[in-house]
Amino acid sequence: MSILNTSNKLACSFEQLPLYLKIKKDDFVFISSDLKNIALNYKKENRKLDIDLFISNFQLVLSEGTLVIPAYTDNLKDGETFDIKNSKPTTGALSNKVFKRKDFKRTFEPLHSVFVWGKDSDEVLNHTEKSTFGINSIYSLLFKKNAIFLFIDVHIVNSFTFIHFIEEKNKVPYRKYFKRNFFLIDEKGIKYSKEILFHTRKPGVITNFDELNKKMLETNIMERQSMCNINIDLINAFETVELVEQLLKNKKYLYHFSFIDFFKIWIKKMIKK
């Protein structure tokens, strides 16, 4: 099944991609991307990659919708500072371009902030809670809105953070809550302290979405199109939750256990003592 509104082969035009996707004007879209290979293709052809035009075309398509782009700073360690205006995202070129724009707003979350533009911006900005993947987090809203997830040249194991919301919702046994404390600086320069709960992997647990990725493609829950030798994938929140919960119910957990990693973590803890 094609994710495009045209039967013609999509030309290698990253900027025009939003105009061809099967996305409605009032959709709620979350983009995960890695633009390195696209940029390399453009460089070989002496073309300049115009990320601003890509964003503008998406805004044109989503005239009554909402666009969300991750602005994660999940490299922050316990006790470090998140500055909403100055903390640079770790989520790639698209996020860093949006970081410089004035038409997007950023949520006030130290690890998993997002940039948002469009109809539901205020609702996104007001979604916050102690647990980063919790019931009032941005991920809960993505579920409520049946968000469309667009993946550009990224595998879901590296980019589908929404899965961890489903895991927390279902109280999976291979993750647990860890407390972290951060300092936060808001748009007015006021500094706060905040304790958050991070529902993350237990020692030795390695995330593995291979079974999930296979099922998504086999059942066409995830629709894929090739462009410039890269994969463009689309999937919605409702179908994702249904499939993941089915896998969890059947004990097909989304991880494997590594004794090597477990002992590395154990040794580090012993050294610190």
Q: Is the pLDDT of residue 117 over 50?
A: yes
pLDDT bin (cut points 50, 70, 90) of residue 1 is very low
Q: Is the pLDDT of residue 241 over 90?
A: yes
DSSP helix/strand/coil, 161: coil
Q: If you search the block for the tokens 């983009």, which residue do you land on?
A: 31
Angle, in degrees to the nearest 10, between helices 210-218 and 237-249: 120
Average pLDDT over residues 106-116: 96
Question: How confident is the model at residue 10, as a pLDDT?
Answer: 53
Please provide the size of the chain in residues. Answer: 273
> Among 16, 102, 29, which Cα is nearest to 69's?
29
Question: How confident is the model at residue 254, as a pLDDT?
Answer: 84
Query: Higher-confidence residue: 266 or 109?
Result: 109
pLDDT, tens only, 119-148? 999 999 998 888 999 988 999 999 999 999
Q: Is the pLDDT of residue 43 over 50?
A: yes
- Please state, in angstroms and as integers, the Cα–Cα distance from residue 192 to each residue in 17, 24, 58, 76, 113, following that order: 40, 39, 35, 16, 16
Phi and psi, residue 127, nearest 5°: -85, 110
Q: If you search the block for the tokens 């899965």, which residue do you land on?
A: 163
pLDDT, tens only, 219-231? 999 999 888 788 9
Amino acid at 105: K
